[in-house]
A = this chain, B = another copy of it.
Amino acid sequence: MLLVQKYGGTSVGNPERIRRVAKRVAAAQDAGHQVVVVVSAMGDTTDDLINLVHEITDNPSEREMDVLLSTGEQVSMALLAMALKELSKPALSLTGAQAGIQTDNSHSKAKILEINPERLQAELANGNIVVVAGFQGMDSLSDITTLGRGGSDTTAVALAAALKADVCEIYTDVDGVYTTDPRIVPEARKLNKISYDEMLEMASLGAGVLHPRSVELGLKYGIPIHVRSSFNDNPGTIVKESKANMEKSLAVTGVAYDSNVAKIGLYDVFDRPGIAYKLFKALSEAKVNVDMIVQSAMRNEINNISFTCSRGDLKKALEVVEQLMPELGSDGVTADDNVAKISIVGAGMVSNPGVAAQMFSALSEEGINLQMISTSEIKISCIIQDSETHKAVKALHRAFNLAVGTK
């Protein structure tokens, strides 16, 4: 088999852990597999680098931030390759650029355009274990880019796709994907498997284990993703397409929450074609990632539009909105970053029409007010006050009886 294994920052947090990772990788090769390893930066490296930046500027160039932060993975990949050689394993490390990871030039949140896996394939064919820096690539100018949040997972799944790997193993500090955050709900249960769609929703909704970008790639290229712990040998959660037992599956698979949410509301915008387009095009050009959007007609020719984004983007989003207000006809804007998103996810939801009502009822029983609601075929999300997040997660996990399951 050809395996891509990805180890996060905690898993390679110090030299001792790097040596432990090397043993695991070596064992996979001993078992007859070809192995590509994707690594994140060691534990606190990124924070340490950012602290240096704060002593120099409050407004660092995104290009230079990428140059700076990409060194973190370069350090851990070199150390892991050394640790593998210390175990007498043929190994070498490649930066994102050397591994052929071509991206666009959106520094700090670059997207992978293409992977040229020739060097990687040649090294694998020579019997090498290849260690690749996660989170980074190269744009058309040969400038270093970073992929932003979830970048290392994305690197791993993208490499698995480019190399047609059999599975992409994501090693992390938890045992797999849970029905909800076990720190909040001790009865939370580890899922043995989950579909891409469900995982995508769980991931998008803040279940931190896998980044949605990597799940999207897994879905697109049909790469099974095995999320498991680097600290033990327990089987984790396998993310893959699964049509079997759909009728039998639970309506709700898990409860997710995301506290990195800010809400912006525009009042009284013109009720005309093109208004939403203007707003969200401008936000997109400013590289604000908009999440939920709710538009509601209140009375004739007047609309309210609300949307959410990450808290880090709030300032930028407000600037865009305020500049556009005259053009949109809006006469008022509100912003609130004391909100959170709480969601339930499940592939069975679409055939269980009572699920939404059950969710709203459980939240209402706890006295939790819903500020925005958004639904898809396999998830329902609500924006609530962030101080009520834990109460909401517990209530929903209980209401849908997630501690007992079949998955």
List chain A positions with a Cβ less than 8 A from chain B.
14-16, 18-19, 49, 52-53, 55-57, 59-61, 63-65, 67-68, 70-71, 74-75, 77-79, 81-83, 85-86, 92-93, 95, 97-98, 119, 142-144
Contacting residues, chain B, for A53 (C-beta < 8 A): 79, 82
Q: Is the CB of A98 within 8 A of B57?
A: no
Contacting residues, chain B, for A67 (C-beta < 8 A): 74, 77-78, 81, 93, 95
Q: Is the CB of B82 within 8 A of A64?
A: yes
Contacting residues, chain B, for A77 (C-beta < 8 A): 67
Contacting residues, chain B, for A59 (C-beta < 8 A): 86
C-alpha spacing A81/B95, complex, angstroms: 22
Top-4 shortest CB links A-B? A15-B55, A68-B78, A71-B71, A67-B78
Assuming the A-B contacts A53-B79, A57-B83, A86-B59, are A93 and B64 also in contact, with contact meaning beta carbons closer than 8 angstroms in the complex?
Answer: yes
Q: Which residue of B lies closest to A144 (CB)?
A: B95
Candidates B15, B16, B49, B61; contact of A85 at CB < 8 Å: B61
Q: Is the CB of A64 within 8 A of B92?
A: yes
Q: Is the CB of B68 within 8 A of A56?
A: no
Contacting residues, chain B, for A52 (C-beta < 8 A): 15, 75, 79
Q: Is the CB of A68 within 8 A of B75?
A: yes
Q: Is the CB of A92 within 8 A of B63?
A: yes
Q: Is the CB of B64 within 8 A of A68?
A: no
Q: Which residue of B lies closest to A61 (CB)?
A: B85
Contacting residues, chain B, for A19 (C-beta < 8 A): 56
Assuming the A-B contacts A74-B71, A75-B71, are A81 and B64 also in contact, with contact meaning beta carbons closer than 8 angstroms in the complex?
Answer: yes
Q: Is the CB of A56 within 8 A of B15?
A: yes
Contacting residues, chain B, for A65 (C-beta < 8 A): 78, 82
Q: Is the CB of B98 within 8 A of A82?
A: no
C-alpha spacing A119/B142, complex, angstroms: 10
C-alpha spacing A56/B78, complex, angstroms: 11
C-alpha spacing A52/B81, complex, angstroms: 13
Of A79, A92, A93, most buried by chain B (CB within 10 Å of CB) is A79
Q: Which residue of B lies closest to A133 (CB)?
A: B67
Contacting residues, chain B, for A18 (C-beta < 8 A): 56
**Minimum CB–CB distance for A261 against chain B, Å:** 30
Candidates B75, B81, B93, B95; contact of A49 at CB < 8 Å: B75
Of A56, A59, A143, A144, most buried by chain B (CB within 10 Å of CB) is A56
Contacting residues, chain B, for A143 (C-beta < 8 A): 98
**Minimum CB–CB distance for A179 against chain B, Å:** 38
Q: Is the CB of A86 within 8 A of B57?
A: yes
Contacting residues, chain B, for A70 (C-beta < 8 A): 74
Q: Is the CB of B86 within 8 A of A64?
A: no
**Minimum CB–CB distance for A248 against chain B, Å:** 49
Contacting residues, chain B, for A81 (C-beta < 8 A): 61, 64, 67
Told that A15-B52, A61-B92 touch, could you supply 14 new A-B pairs with CB distance under 8 A?
A57-B85, A57-B86, A61-B85, A64-B78, A64-B85, A67-B93, A68-B75, A68-B82, A70-B74, A71-B71, A71-B75, A74-B74, A95-B144, A98-B143
C-alpha spacing A49/B79, complex, angstroms: 9
**Minimum CB–CB distance for A371 against chain B, Å:** 39
